[in-house]
Copies of this chain bind each other. A is one copy, B any other.
């Protein structure tokens, strides 16, 4: 076993440093609960609504932590990102906050609201076709040409640590409320949020059960956990959970999730939409389908969660009104 430098190890200290760096810029989101939601879930459910975060998702935490750590020259040159949406607007916002240029490479099927958000923050948007083009290659080519720093959506300890501040706050809020969670459940795509939140929660609650939730057919991280190697999704098809439908698991997040013995769960579109409507009725937070995956898991997998105290992250709220209306009208979950 080779010796690792401190900087190679992902840890609670990195998350604490991120919290110190970004806390003046981000919202300390509340930790919400609802007796109606609890009864619907047959569990005690604590929800960290990162939809209320600046830019409408937790992603600004990682983007700011990364950008605030760049050299002055790197900031001046500018930053670039490829993303299905929430990372994109977060990088655009972080660039706007520190005053540097940003280029965002976006799939041409991304929700309109997320593309508009990038432009609103002043970023340049470049589209690609996810069926025929590789987003990483396109972004690398642009970055090389213009001298931009690429901000990884998840495969970077600074991004993971920023996202992990969500879990740090959640742990502090649970302790303040006198709560000891039995399980922590986090939406997962590349794994930046899941690894950061689970690292923080495991530090404060060593016995907590740890779950990630992915869309059915997009369970790349579950496959990665099972094999110990980074995996892609088996196939690209439609999911309403666009926020967590990226093609590949992150290498650095996978290391963390493997170390913590995390278990993988999946939910389908109907379960996600039902959770969106449950959040409308009980939490009064606008949650996007991908942001509601962990809530969907807790509401639908009672054999796992019934009777437990469960902490979850509702990771984003950037949802087109047509999708939101679908959640409110097609088989809504109205706790009663």
> Which of A51, A280, A285, A317 neighbours the largest number of chain B CB atoms within 10 Å of its CB?
A285
The distance in angstroms between the C-alpha atoms of A56 and B35, with both chains bound, is 11
For this chain, the copies found in one complex come to 2
If the complex has contacts A32-B27, A116-B336, are A321 and B51 also in contact, measured as CB distance less than 8 A?
A: no
The distance in angstroms between the C-alpha atoms of A328 and B323, with both chains bound, is 11
B317 x A284 contact (CB < 8 A): yes
A284 x B51 contact (CB < 8 A): yes
Chain B residues with CB under 8 A of A284: 49, 51-52, 56, 285-287, 317
Q: Min CB distance, A187 to chain B, in Å?
A: 16
Chain B residues with CB under 8 A of A35: 54, 93
- Is A308 an interface residue when CB atoms closer than 8 A count as contact? no
Q: Which residues of A contact B (CB under 8 A)?
A: 27-30, 32, 34-36, 49, 51-52, 54, 56, 93, 113, 116, 120, 280-281, 283-287, 317, 321, 324-325, 328-329, 332, 336
In order of increasing CB-CB distance, the 4 nearest A-B pairs are A284-B317, A51-B284, A284-B286, A321-B328
**A–B Cβ pairs within 8 angstroms, 20 of them:** A27-B32, A28-B30, A32-B52, A35-B93, A36-B120, A49-B52, A52-B284, A52-B285, A56-B284, A113-B281, A116-B336, A280-B286, A280-B321, A280-B324, A284-B317, A285-B286, A321-B329, A321-B332, A325-B328, A325-B329
